């Protein structure tokens, strides 16, 4: 038995009071699609003897208390501000109730699954993993699995269009995976693109960076440009023995130490000889002979701004594409869960983390999105600030039609950027003044409601907007430059754009703010959105022009104050230093 000891003891005390027999055939639908998420096509029935790891997300007994604590410790006006939870305190709040464990065990045993083989991969909290065949899963969930193909990534996966659970288990289980979430490590998008139209520069060491940002920064961005634009150049990190900055990597994207050294030689000479650490998660690789654009971009700009803060690159792996002839057990190959369960099981985690990947929110089942979002809330409760790029398709890419069978045209925010417990980062371009870049994602979530700390800022914008775009705005956003970043890839300089460039930049700036707080005996910032919408709102440069067209519309337009394109604006480190 591999559940936590506490839960086992709880089960022993409760089992005698439970009925000896239950109905496991009264199935009630948990989630269903009308049609496959966009880009996925049914190929064939899944072989009944194909095995996979089924993850069962149990309801967390005291999650409401966790969220209350998170909001209190994130509110600069609250007496508990900065009193982040330890791993043990967080685990206690998100542990499932013993009744949940007992019911799930009985269900698994009914279907012939040996409880001794159950694995809980999230440090004993919340997620149970069992190895099952397609035939077993279909009986348990009242469904039929199929093989679906994604032309864009040439990947095939085993998924289902719907699944059900016994009525009793709806009280105890939040989500089962893999079921209706079709996203995979290869099908999800990075938020960067090469820009061959912007001529790269070989070095900026001869440029003079002072109070005036050189004109070259209007088209080509280097660490020196960003340090001057956002006022970090004079700050020297002091808490490098405690403070860390993490980069979450996927898609077999590997960061190159050789490329980083060449990048330092050309664009940050005082950092030459410093490096980063690669942590491999779930079989993630580290083939530096094949560096990735995303990985090199992220690590070069997090280290290029935060030096000498220690940086960690997480290379998260997955299984090979589905082989219909294989009976070899494989992993579910779903984004985020493996990395989140790994990082939350660690006794200490970086104070700042950035991720530059995402999917259209509408392709993510609500039960799955909620469970993943709640895991990000646990990171915030433990004192970590989490950034996600907002996407590179304005208010939406493609035809923006819904996948619920109605084919309505709606704006398409990105997930996990739309999760209320992370901070989404969009992009700007040009200097003096900066302008919202037209590909910057931004808008409103259709899964998550507007948090209270956003009400004042968002309501003012909505009043001016009228009824032009209806919906709940829910992407608390920071922005910074996202165009013409100079990146060394396999030894050569390339120009790269995208909010993938913006997110690591903002993360590095806030890592410096964490360093400042820690060096002065204060805790890390943790979940920053309530802070930014209150006492720190004046620490940003308001961006008042530009828009993010998409879905056949002009999208939102930047203006004075908060707007969905540019959020609160670009960060000014010195101003924020005085406010945090």
Q: 298 an active-site residue? A: yes
C-alpha–C-alpha distance, residues 139 and 361, integer Å: 29
523/531 Cα distance (integer angstroms): 14
Cβ partners under 8 Å of residue 16, min gap 6? none
CA-to-CA distance for 535 and 514, rounded, in angstroms?
16
CA atoms of 379 and 295, how far apart (whole Å):
22
Q: Which residue has the tokens 């008042």?
A: 544
Q: Which residue in the list 500, 502, 503, 547 is annotated as catalytic?
A: 500
The gap between the terminal CA atoms of the chain, to the nearest Å, is 46
Catalytic pick from 294, 296, 360, 563?
A: 294
Structure tokens at 242: 């405690």
43 included as an active-site residue: no
Strand partners, 315: 249, 280
To which residue do tokens 């980083």 refer?
260
Residue 335: both structure tokens together? 């984004």
Angle at 511 between CA 510 and CA 516, to 5 degrees: 90
Distance CA 261, CA 367 (A): 43
237 SS3 class: coil
Q: Tokens representing 255?
A: 């960061």
Torsion angles phi and psi, residue 176, rounded to 5: -125, 135
Strands (DSSP E) along 59-126, which ranges?
A: none
Backbone angles phi, psi at 497, to 5 degrees: -125, 170
Spell out a b/e string for 156-191, using b for 16 or more CB atoms within 10 Å of the CB, else e. Answer: bbbbbbbbbbbebbeebbbbbbbbbbbbbbbbbbbb
Burial of residue 574 (number of CB atoms within 10 Å: 0-12, 13-18, 19+)? middle
In terms of Cβ atoms closer than 10 Å to its own Cβ (0-12, 13-18, 19+), residue 22 is: middle
Cα separations in angstroms, 72 against 60, 530, 534:
20, 10, 14
Six token digits for residue 503: 């997110």
Tokens 């580290």 -> residue: 286
Burial-class residue 138 by CB neighbours within 10 Å (0-12, 13-18, 19+): middle
Whether the CB-CB separation of 306 and 508 falls below 8 Å is answered with yes
Q: Indicate if 138 belongs to the active site.
A: no
Helix (H, G, I), strand (E, B) or coil at 358: strand
As beta bridge partners, residue 300 has: none
- Element housing 313 (H / E): strand 311-316
Active-site residue list: 294, 298, 500
């Amino acid at each position: 038995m591999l559940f936590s000891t506490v839960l086992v003891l709880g089960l022993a005390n409760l089992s005698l009071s439970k009925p000896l027999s239950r109905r496991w055939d009264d199935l009630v639908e948990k989630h269903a699609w009308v049609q496959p998420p966009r880009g996925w096509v049914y190929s064939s029935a899944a072989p009944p003897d194909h095995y996979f790891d089924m993850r069962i997300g149990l309801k967390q007994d005291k999650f409401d208390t966790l969220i209350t604590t998170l909001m209190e410790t994130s509110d600069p006006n609250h007496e508990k501000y900065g009193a982040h939870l330890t791993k043990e305190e967080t685990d206690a709040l998100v542990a499932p109730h013993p009744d949940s464990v007992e019911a799930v065990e009985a269900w698994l045993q009914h279907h012939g699954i040996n409880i001794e083989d159950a694995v809980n991969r999230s440090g004993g909290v919340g997620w149970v993993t069992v190895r099952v065949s397609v035939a077993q899963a279909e009986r348990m969930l009242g469904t039929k699995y199929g093989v679906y193909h994604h032309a864009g990534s040439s990947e095939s996966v085993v998924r289902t269009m719907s699944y059900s659970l016994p009525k009793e288990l709806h009280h105890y289980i939040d989500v089962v995976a893999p079921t209706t979430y079709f996203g995979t490590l290869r099908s999800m998008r990075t938020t960067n693109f090469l820009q061959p139209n912007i001529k790269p520069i070989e070095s900026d060491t001869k440029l003079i960076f002072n109070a005036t940002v050189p004109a070259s920064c209007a088209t080509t961005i280097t660490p020196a440009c960003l340090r001057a634009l956002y006022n970090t150049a004079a700050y020297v990190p002091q808490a490098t023995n405690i403070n860390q900055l993490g980069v979450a990597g996927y898609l077999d994207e590997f960061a190159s130490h050789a490329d980083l050294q060449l990048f330092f030689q050309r664009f940050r000479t005082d950092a030459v000889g410093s490096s980063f650490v690669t942590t491999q998660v779930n079989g993630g690789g580290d083939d530096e002979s094949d560096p990735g654009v995303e990985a090199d971009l992220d690590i070069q700009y997090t280290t290029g701004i935060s030096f000498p803060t220690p940086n960690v690159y997480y290379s998260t792996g997955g299984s090979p594409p589905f082989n219909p002839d294989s009976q070899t057990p494989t992993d579910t190959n779903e984004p985020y869960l493996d990395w989140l369960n790994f990082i939350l099981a660690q006794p200490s985690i970086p104070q700042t983390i950035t991720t530059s990947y995402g999917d259209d929110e509408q392709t993510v089942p609500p039960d799955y999105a909620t469970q993943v979002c709640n895991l990000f809330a646990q990171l915030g409760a433990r004192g970590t600030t989490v950034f996600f790029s907002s996407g590179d398709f304005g208010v939406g890419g493609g035809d923006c039609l819904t996948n619920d069978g109605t084919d309505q045209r709606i704006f398409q925010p990105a997930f996990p950027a739309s999760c209320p417990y992370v901070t989404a980062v969009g992009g700007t371009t040009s200097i003096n003044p900066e302008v919202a870049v037209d590909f910057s994602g931004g808008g409103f979530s259709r899964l998550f409601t507007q948090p209270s700390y956003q009400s004042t800022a968002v309501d003012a914008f909505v009043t001016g907007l009228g009824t032009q775009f209806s919906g709940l705005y829910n992407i608390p956003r920071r922005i910074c430059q996202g165009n013409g970043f100079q990146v060394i890839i396999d030894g050569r300089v390339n120009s790269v754009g995208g909010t993938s460039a913006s997110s690591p930049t903002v993360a590095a700036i806030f890592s410096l703010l964490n360093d400042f707080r820690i060096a002065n005996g204060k805790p890390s910032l943790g979940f920053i959105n309530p802070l930014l919408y209150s006492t720190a709102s004046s620490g940003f440069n308001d961006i008042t022009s530009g828009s993010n067209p998409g879905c056949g519309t002009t999208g939102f337009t930047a203006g004075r104050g908060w707007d969905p394109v540019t959020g609160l604006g670009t960060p000014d480190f010195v101003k924020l230093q005085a406010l945090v």
